[in-house]
Amino acid sequence: MKILLTGGLGYIGSHTAVELLNHHHEVIIVDNLANSSLSVLDRLKKITHQEIPFYQIDVANKVELEPVFLHHTFDAIIHFAGLKAVGESVAKPLEYYQNNVLATLNLASFSIKYGVHKFVFSSSATVYGDQPSPLIETMELKTTTNPYGETKAMSERILTDAAKANPPFSVSLLRYFNPIGAHESALIGENPNGIPNNLMPYITKVAKGELKELQIYGQDYPTIDGTGIRDYIHVVDLAKGHIAALNKMKSAVNIYNLGTGKGVSVLELVTAFQNVNHVRVPYKVVGRRPGDLAIVYADPGKAKRELGWETSKTIEDMCRDAWNFEKQNV
Ligand code: NAD
Ligand code: WQD
Q: Does residue 239's CB lie within 6 angstroms of at least one atom of ligand 1?
A: no
Give the pLDDT confidence score for residue 329 in this predicted structure: 83
For 60-110, write each residue's pLDDT tens digit: 999 999 999 999 999 999 999 999 999 999 999 999 999 999 999 999 999
Give the pLDDT confidence score for residue 330 in this predicted structure: 60
Distance 326 CA to ligand 2 centre (A): 19
Average pLDDT over residues 22-32: 97
Peptide bond just before 53 cis, omega within 30 deg? no
Domains of the chain: 2-181+232-259 (3.40.50.720)
Q: Which of 130, 174, 217, 270 to mutate to test the pocket of ligand 2 (most atoms within 8 A of CB)?
A: 217
> pLDDT-derived band of residue 251, with 50, 70 and 90 as boundaries?
confident
> pLDDT-derived band of residue 149, with 50, 70 and 90 as boundaries?
very high
How many Å apart are CA 99 and CA 290, to the nearest integer? 25
Average pLDDT over residues 109-118: 98
Which residue type sits at 263? G
Is the sign of the CA dihedral 10, 16, 21, 25 positive or negative? negative
Please report the atom of ligand 1 found closest to the CA of residue 102: 18
Residue 278 has pLDDT above 70, yes or no: yes
Burial call 270-285: b when 16+ CB within 10 Å, e when fewer: bebbeebbebebebee
Give the pLDDT confidence score for residue 194 in this predicted structure: 87
How many Å apart are CA 12 and CA 59, to the nearest integer? 17
For 30-66, write each residue's pLDDT tens digit: 999 999 999 999 999 999 999 999 999 999 999 999 9
How many Å apart are CA 280 and CA 277, to the nearest integer? 9
Q: How far from each other are the two terminal CA atoms of the chain, in whole angstroms?
A: 33
Which ligand places an atom closest to the C-alpha of 258? 1
Which ligand places an atom closest to the C-alpha of 83? 1
Give the pLDDT confidence score for residue 22 in this predicted structure: 96
Calculate what percentage of the chain has a pLDDT beyond 70.
100
Which residue type sits at 144? T
Q: Which of 83, 141, 198, 213 to mutate to test the pocket of ligand 2 (most atoms within 8 A of CB)?
A: 198
Q: Which of 84, 92, 296 to mutate to test the pocket of ligand 1 (most atoms within 8 A of CB)?
A: 84
How many Å apart are CA 145 and CA 212, to the nearest integer? 30
Give the pLDDT confidence score for residue 49 in this predicted structure: 97
Q: Are 176 and 125 in contact (CB under 8 A)?
A: yes
Please report the atom of ligand 2 found closest to the CA of residue 227: 34
Residue 177 has pLDDT above 80, yes or no: yes
Average pLDDT over residues 137-149: 93
Active site residues: 148
Residue nearest atom 33 of ligand 2, based on CA coordinates: 217
Average pLDDT over residues 120-143: 96
